Amino acid sequence: MTEINGVGTRSAGSNGASGRSRNAAVSLPNILTYGRILAIPAIIILLFPKDDFGRWLALALYIIASVTDYLDGYLARRWKQQSALGRMLDPIADKLLVATVILMLVGEGTIGGWSLLAAIVILCREVLVSGLREFLAEARVSLPVTQLAKWKTAIQMVALGVLIIGPALKDSVPYIIEIGLALLWVAALVTFYTGYDYLRSGLRHAMEKDS
């Protein structure tokens, strides 16, 4: 009898965990994250023809995707809907969006010359932080997002938005592309500093683990 009850308890617990997983998968914060991921191929398609109308649509999608980057985390915390799925997908969605837009802008020539270095710094930092988070997760050490890193993200998002629409407005808004590139360099410099800060933290934990 005890064994039967034990099985029943395990089954009920399993069903409860499964229900929570399903609820997390369809929570609004995670749905916003899915939308950000789905916006990426749409932005690629809109930027390929290099026409002004497509750029405006790409900018609109990019702004919406950028706003959801803030909203999904805010709503998850406010509504207590934080989940392992959300913690996994949110940074992936962010990095995919940024990397895709940068590569598209490089491919069409909006980002070129010395500004390629700024793009490379940003992309390398994203890879670096992803690797550090994976390593520190195994050591059960969190890598919190600093306030400066949040400013970096904001400047980076604005810079890429300006560069998406820049070619469509360059005849009516003087130096708009140059403004976007200047913001990209600012984001790259802050990115370099925050990346170094994260790397230093990761190295300290690695050396403590080896000692």
Check whether residue 72 and residue 113 sit in a common domain. Answer: no
Q: Is residue 96 part of a domain?
A: no
Cβ pair 136, 202 in contact under 8 A: yes
Number of domains in the chain: 2
Question: Residue 54 has what pLDDT?
Answer: 93
Question: Residue 19 has what pLDDT?
Answer: 52
Check whether residue 48 and residue 120 sit in a common domain. Answer: no
Cβ pair 181, 111 in contact under 8 A: yes
Domain enclosing residue 142, as ranges: 109-211
Question: Residue 137 has what pLDDT?
Answer: 67
Phi, psi of 170 (to 5 degrees): -65, -25
Check whether residue 134 and residue 201 sit in a common domain. Answer: yes
Check whether residue 76 and residue 117 sit in a common domain. Answer: no
Cβ pair 173, 165 in contact under 8 A: no
Neighbour tally for 153: CB within 10 Å: 20
- How far, in Å, CA of 52 to CA of 27, rounded? 36
Q: Is residue 94 part of a domain?
A: no
Question: Residue 194 has what pLDDT?
Answer: 83
Check whether residue 118 and residue 199 sit in a common domain. Answer: yes
Check whether residue 71 and residue 122 sit in a common domain. Answer: no
Per-residue pLDDT of the chain in tens (211 residues, 90 and over written 9): 444 454 444 455 555 555 555 666 778 888 888 999 999 999 999 998 888 999 999 999 999 999 988 888 778 778 777 777 777 888 888 889 999 999 999 999 999 999 999 999 999 988 888 777 777 766 666 666 778 888 888 999 999 999 999 999 998 999 999 999 999 999 999 998 888 877 877 777 767 666 6
Question: Residue 150 has what pLDDT?
Answer: 83
Q: Is residue 89 part of a domain?
A: no
Q: Is residue 181 part of a domain?
A: yes
**CB hemisphere CA count around 138 (13 angstroms):** 9
Does the predicted TM-score (pTM) go above 0.85? Answer: no
Q: Is residue 102 part of a domain?
A: no
Check whether residue 43 and residue 118 sit in a common domain. Answer: no
Question: Residue 42 has what pLDDT?
Answer: 95
